[in-house]
């Protein structure tokens, strides 16, 4: 059984006042969520001009590269895109469908599918063959291994004007952008595929067994954004458990609440 503590992915939504705690139910979803998590960090940091932000961008880029080198992630993304395109195509004949909205979704997915196909199977070669990135990657696993006396070339590059660094960052990120954008789009569709349902955790505990024909790939537990509780989710594609823990400070270990907890659950 997979265990996530407190949760696989947390997406607070300040506008709605809700926090979403997620658990992937397949290896593909686990990979996609990790890529999304890292990709959002990388995009956030690369927009900041400071050297420290550029360092963070490079470190995250190398983490993404490590994930993409482990398997055929591009093929997995293509399968997901094909699945959603075919599924949405079948809705065209359904009455009451917003045809303009549907056509827009299909068009976006087809465009993403084309971009992912266009990068080809060797899309990672520019990153793999960069001696500059390889040197940083080699030292990155060592605590403090990328400081100035270890990698003087890296630190010289970090001192360049941001416009110069941005050129290199755009080239490296551009190699993986179509794939990462497609992952973000697929995850959005999966999240939107299920309506949240009101549930109650008796004495802070909720257990759920999946139907045999269920095809759940992602669990989403939804709480108020200012809740003093957080969920610990453990489970698989067959059954899962949600325990709600009371948090006070980092000096005290969280404990399961003894109160009933109202929350929302989406099985996507």
At residue 31, the pLDDT reads 96
- Would you give the distance in Å from CA 168 to the centre of its chain? 24
Phi-psi region of 235 (alpha: psi -120 to 50; beta: other; left: phi over 0): left
Residues 6+ apart with CB under 8 A from 219: 22, 23, 25, 233, 235, 240, 265, 266, 267, 268
CA distance 206 to 187: 25
Token pair for 161? 């004007």
| Degrees, nearest 5: CA angle 143-141-181 | 125
List the alpha helices (DSSP H) in the chain: 27-46, 51-68, 73-90, 99-118, 125-128, 131-140, 152-158, 162-192
Q: What is the pLDDT along the chain (268 residues), one digit of tens a residue?
A: 333 333 345 454 545 688 999 999 999 999 999 999 999 999 999 999 999 999 999 999 999 999 999 989 999 999 999 999 998 988 877 777 778 888 899 999 999 999 999 999 999 999 999 999 999 999 988 999 899 899 999 999 999 999 999 999 999 999 999 999 999 999 999 999 899 999 999 999 999 988 877 788 899 999 988 888 999 999 888 889 999 999 888 888 889 999 999 999 999 9
> What is the CB-side half-sphere exposure of residue 199 using CA atoms within 13 A?
24
At residue 170, the pLDDT reads 95
| Residue 219 CB burial class (10 angstroms; 0-12, 13-18, ≥19) | buried
- Compute φ and ψ for 208, nearest 5 degrees: -145, 130
Nearest to 127 by CA among 173, 160, 163: 173
| Residue 180 CB burial class (10 angstroms; 0-12, 13-18, ≥19) | buried
Work out the number of other CB atoms within 10 angstroms of the CB of residue 122.
8
Nearest to 5 by CA among 264, 243, 265, 260: 243
In the block, tokens 């997901």 appear at 80
> What is the CB-side half-sphere exposure of residue 265 using CA atoms within 13 A?
19
Nearest to 41 by CA among 15, 64, 20: 64
In Å, the largest CA–CA distance within the chain is 67
97, 91 contact by CB (below 8 A): yes
pTM of the shown model: 0.88
CA distance 4 to 233: 6
At residue 13, the pLDDT reads 55
DSSP label of 218 = E
**What domains can you pick out in the chain, each with its CATH number?**
2-26+196-267 (2.60.440.10), 30-192 (1.10.3900.10)
At residue 7, the pLDDT reads 39
């Amino acid at each position: 059984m997979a265990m996530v503590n407190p949760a696989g992915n947390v997406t607070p939504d300040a506008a709605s006042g809700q926090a979403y705690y997620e658990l992937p139910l397949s290896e593909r979803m686990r990979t996609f969520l990790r890529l999304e998590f890292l990709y959002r960090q990388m995009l956030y940091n690369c927009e900041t001009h400071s050297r420290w932000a550029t360092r963070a961008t490079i470190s995250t880029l190398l983490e993404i590269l490590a994930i993409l080198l482990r398997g055929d992630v591009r093929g997995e993304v293509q399968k997901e895109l094909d699945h959603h395109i075919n599924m949405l195509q079948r809705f065209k004949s359904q009455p009451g469908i917003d045809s303009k909205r549907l056509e827009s979704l299909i068009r976006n997915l087809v465009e993403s599918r084309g971009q992912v196909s266009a990068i080809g199977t060797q899309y990672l070669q520019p990153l793999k063959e960069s001696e500059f990135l390889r040197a940083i990657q080699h030292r990155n696993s060592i605590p403090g291994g990328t400081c100035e006396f270890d990698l003087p070339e890296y630190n010289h590059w970090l001192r360049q004007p941001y416009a110069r660094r941005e050129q290199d960052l755009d080239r490296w990120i551009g190699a993986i952008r179509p794939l990462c954008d497609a992952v973000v789009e697929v995850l959005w569709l999966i999240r939107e595929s299920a309506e949240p349902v009101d549930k109650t955790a008796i004495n802070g505990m909720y257990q759920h067994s999946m139907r045999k024909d269920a095809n759940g790939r992602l669990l989403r537990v939804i709480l108020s954004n200012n809740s003093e509780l957080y969920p610990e989710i453990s489970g698989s594609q067959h059954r899962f458990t949600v325990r709600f823990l009371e948090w006070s400070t980092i000096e005290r270990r969280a404990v399961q609440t003894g109160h009933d907890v109202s929350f929302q659950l989406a099985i996507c």
